[in-house]
């Protein structure tokens, strides 16, 4: 076996990285057209399913949150595609025991807010004992196909690099979550505030049942009323077509075909200089450690999601700019609830908010309001104090100027 000098080995590794970056292309961006994954007819069919208003005759649950995907994932503007964020929030609830341990509400943490006919909405039936209640804003789906096409190994490397670069001060939680369409397989979670899914097919089936009460082969059980079974009169699974459900598969296709949010860079030199200076500050105070400016998708043909999804050309080797790492972090202002399936060490954590598209309202524009924004600015400049970390010495001495402008 021939042993190369260490410097040559390093150069080869660097060359390999450069080669990948040279071959990668910018992911399509915008809010008004798809990314090229589907034919126009396929895309229109998928969009129609995404925007369809469900009815009890089709299986709309007795207890639900909204009657269509597009009701929560709204278009970021007139004549633009649906799939963005919106003002509707999801409620999770439970209570704390004597030892501060969290107990979910009967039937699970998810609490629906609407009901068919004269049925009592679950939120109104929730007892005062379930007094831990967290709301989660709807996340944008633009660019999600590229996020799905990032290899699990890349997210693991990001977690390791964050720990290494910060000497262990930053430790994102990485979840290995079940892939519903590949029983027995797990993958690195990235979708949802709790990174509860790695696959858009799993994500779509879960949301169809949770938010609209419509079951499918991947999520065959109806929503309950605080744990009590409720029969909506339509046999389960309600979305029967194709292998995993006609609508579920169309939802996944539509979301995979959405472009990445556009990066709007002004032509004016002064404004561009201000943006560049802002990004320098963004990096210098540590924001970019978790709000990563660029990720690259896997090669064409790579098998992901338990070998059930082959990365197509339209999503392969694409650079995109999410300003997020898709890991869970304890930022000191995370949720109190512990969702089903989450490890105990992830309590109080929340997925890094991907900042792409904020200027057009397609992402988490309403997430950091008043107290949250102030806490975020104090955290970036002055550190944080939480039960999980040693208190930084400069927290209480945080300059009051940091609070201005929040």
Identify the band that residue 388 occupies on the pLDDT scale cut at 50, 70 and 90. Answer: very low
Q: In the prediction, which pLDDT does 132 show?
A: 96
Q: How far apart are CA 53 and CA 74, in angstroms?
A: 13
pLDDT digits (tens, 9 = 90+) for 338-351: 999 999 989 999 99
> Does pLDDT of 35 surpass 60?
yes
Q: In the prediction, which pLDDT does 400 show?
A: 37
Q: What is the mean pLDDT of residues 260-267?
A: 90
Q: How far apart are CA 51 and CA 172, in angstroms?
A: 35
Q: In the prediction, which pLDDT does 360 show?
A: 60
pTM of the full structure: 0.84
> Does pLDDT of 311 surpass 90?
yes
Identify the band that residue 31 occupies on the pLDDT scale cut at 50, 70 and 90. Answer: very high
Q: In the prediction, which pLDDT does 357 show?
A: 84
Task: Enter the tokens of residue 31.
Answer: 């809010």
Q: How far apart are CA 140 and CA 144, in angstroms?
A: 8
- Which of 300-314, 330-344, 392-406 shows the lowest per-residue confidence on average (mean pLDDT)? 392-406
Q: Which residue, among 286, 10, 324, 307, has the nearest Cα to 158 in the 3D structure? A: 324
Q: Which residue, among 224, 212, 218, 201, has the nearest Cα to 53 in the 3D structure? A: 212
Q: Which helix (H) or strand (E) holds 63?
A: strand 63-64
- Cite the DSSP H helix spans in 166-266: 200-212, 246-256
pLDDT digits (tens, 9 = 90+) for 63-86: 999 999 999 999 999 999 999 998
Q: What is the mean pLDDT of residues 31-47?
A: 98
Phi, psi of 290 (to 5 degrees): -110, -35
Q: Report the chain's terminal Cα–Cα distance, integer Å.
A: 61
């Amino acid at each position: 076996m021939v042993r190369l000098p260490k410097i040559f080995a390093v150069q080869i590794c660097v060359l390999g990285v450069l080669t990948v970056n040279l071959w990668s292309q910018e992911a399509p961006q915008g809010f008004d057209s798809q990314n090229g994954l589907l034919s126009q007819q396929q895309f229109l069919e998928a969009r129609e399913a995404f925007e369809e208003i469900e009815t009890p005759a089709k299986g709309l649950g007795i207890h639900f949150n909204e009657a269509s995907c597009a009701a929560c994932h709204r278009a970021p503007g007139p004549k633009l595609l649906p799939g963005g964020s919106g003002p509707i929030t999801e409620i999770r609830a439970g209570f704390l025991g004597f030892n501060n341990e969290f107990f979910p509400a009967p039937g699970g943490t998810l609490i629906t807010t609407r009901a068919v006919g004269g049925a009592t909405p679950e939120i109104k039936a929730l007892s005062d004992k379930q007094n831990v209640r967290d709301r989660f804003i709807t996340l944008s789906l633009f660019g999600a196909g590229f996020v799905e096409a990032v290899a699990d190994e890349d997210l693991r490397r990001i977690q390791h690099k964050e720990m290494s670069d910060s000497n262990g001060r930053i430790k994102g939680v990485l979840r290995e979550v079940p892939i519903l369409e590949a029983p027995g397989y797990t993958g690195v979670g990235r979708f949802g505030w709790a990174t509860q899914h790695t696959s858009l097919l799993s994500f779509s089936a879960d949301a169809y049942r949770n938010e609209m009460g419509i079951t499918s082969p991947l999520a065959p059980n109806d929503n309950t009323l605080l744990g009590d079974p409720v029969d909506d009169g339509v046999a389960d699974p309600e979305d029967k077509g194709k292998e995993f459900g006609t609508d579920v598969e169309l939802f996944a296709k539509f979301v995979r075909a959405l472009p990445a949010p556009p990066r709007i860079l002004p032509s004016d030199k002064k404004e561009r200089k201000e943006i560049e200076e802002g990004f320098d500050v963004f990096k210098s105070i540590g924001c970019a450690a978790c709000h990563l400016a660029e990720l690259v998708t896997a090669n064409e043909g790579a098998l992901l999601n338990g070998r059930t999804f082959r990365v197509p050309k339209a999503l392969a080797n694409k650079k995109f700019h999410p300003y997020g790492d898709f890991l869970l972090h304890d930022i000191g202002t995370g949720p109190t609830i512990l969702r089903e399936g989450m490890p105990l060490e992830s309590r109080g954590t929340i997925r890094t908010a991907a900042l792409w598209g904020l200027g057009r309202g397609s992402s988490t524009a309403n997430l950091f309001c008043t107290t949250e924004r102030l806490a975020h600015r104090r955290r970036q400049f002055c550190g944080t104090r939480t039960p999980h970390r040693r208190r930084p010495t400069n927290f209480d001495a945080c300059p009051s100027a940091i609070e201005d402008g929040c």
